[in-house]
């Protein structure tokens, strides 16, 4: 990564933030150090103070102030990271941008444990391990016990995740029906709320930390 500025640079607009994120993304992850210096809640929003540097800068760095006006979910897991992206297409956003539904199954796999392992593996691949399959499953039984029962509620969650489960279990002679879907924001949410969530929600992902929300600026 080639960064030529020696003095701290403050992003004055979202465009400049996106430019900087793009520039950071062109480098090798090992060269980048992103520190989350401060996290401050402001009403429904959140403001992050970030310091971006590379190992060869010495004491020089770039300072970025990033604000999300309406936070839907966030987790600050580490104060230091080596990557940063702002995206509207990520598993972390599924529950805000896709319908939520229930998946019911019928049938017993020839090998319950093989099917169980395949479900977990497919989930990990689809979500890149950002959240566990257990958060969506019918929690009354272990997954292997549930599949061994032959029918019932498998999981509730965003439709893309349930579709992954359906596709996997179809390979093991198990039928899955996805029903009772409702839009982002809830069953009674107005169309403008649903559309706003679908179209405006983005996630700022800094290493293992993230903020999902609407209204991103770099004041």
The confidence band for 1, taking pLDDT boundaries of 50, 70 and 90, is: very low
pLDDT of 76-103, one tens digit each? 998 888 888 889 999 999 999 999 999 9
Q: Is 34 helix (H, G, I), strand (E, B) or coil?
A: strand
Is residue 119 within 8 A of residue 143, CB to CB? The reply is yes
* pLDDT reported for residue 44: 95
Q: How many CB atoms lie within 10 A of CB 164?
A: 18
Euclidean distance between CA atoms 6 and 46, whole angstroms: 29
| Chain Cα centroid distance, residue 117 | 23
* pLDDT reported for residue 89: 93
Side-chain-side CA neighbours of residue 8 (13 Å): 9
* pLDDT reported for residue 13: 53
pLDDT at 11 over 60: no
* pLDDT reported for residue 25: 52
Residue of 32 and 106 predicted with greater confidence: 106
* pLDDT reported for residue 64: 83
Residue with tokens 């401050």: 40
- Global pTM reads 0.83
Q: Which residues contact 67 (CB under 8 A, 6 or more apart)?
A: 42, 45, 46, 47, 48, 216, 217, 218, 219
Euclidean distance between CA atoms 128 and 121, whole angstroms: 10
Euclidean distance between CA atoms 50 and 64, whole angstroms: 5
pLDDT at 57 over 90: no
Average pLDDT over the chain, rounded to an integer: 86
Chosen CATH of 97-182 out of 3.40.50, 3.90.550, 3.30.70, 3.30.56: 3.30.70
Euclidean distance between CA atoms 65 and 102, whole angstroms: 40
Residue of 55 and 53 predicted with greater confidence: 53
pLDDT at 74 over 90: yes
Region class of 58: left (phi > 0), else alpha (psi between -120 and 50), else beta: left
Give the residue among 45, 131, 66, 134 at the shortest CA–CA distance from 92. Answer: 131
Q: Which residues contact 173 (CB under 8 A, 6 or more apart)?
A: 107, 108, 109, 110
Most confidently predicted of 112-116, 137-141, 187-191: 112-116
Q: In what order do the strands lie in the sheet with 151-158?
A: 151-158, 100-106, 175-182
Domain ranges of the chain: 14-88+201-217, 97-182
pLDDT at 5 over 50: no
> What percent of the chain has pLDDT above 70?
83
């Amino acid at each position: 990564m080639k960064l030529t500025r020696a003095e701290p640079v403050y992003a004055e607009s979202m465009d400049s933030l996106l430019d900087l994120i793009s520039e950071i993304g062109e480098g090798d992850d090992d060269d980048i150090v992103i520190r989350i210096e401060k996290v401050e809640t402001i009403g429904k929003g959140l403001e992050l103070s970030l310091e971006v540097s590379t190992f060869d800068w010495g004491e020089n760095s770039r300072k970025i102030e990033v604000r999300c006006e309406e936070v839907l979910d966030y987790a600050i897991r580490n104060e230091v990271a080596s990557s940063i992206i702002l995206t509207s297409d990520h598993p972390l956003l599924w529950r805000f941008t896709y319908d939520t539904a229930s998946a019911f199954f019928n049938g017993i796999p020839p090998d319950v444990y093989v099917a169980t392992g395949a479900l977990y593996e497919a989930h990990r691949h689809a979500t890149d391990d950002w959240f566990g399959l257990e958060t969506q499953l019918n929690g009354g039984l272990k997954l292997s016990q549930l599949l061994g029962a032959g029918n019932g509620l498998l999981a509730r969650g965003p439709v893309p995740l349930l579709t992954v489960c359906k596709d996997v279990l179809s390979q093991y002679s198990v039928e899955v029906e996805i029903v009772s879907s409702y839009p982002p924001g809830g069953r009674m949410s107005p169309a403008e709320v649903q559309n706003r969530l679908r179209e405006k929600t983005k996630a700022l992902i800094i290493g293992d930390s993230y903020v999902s929300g609407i209204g991103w600026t770099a004041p």
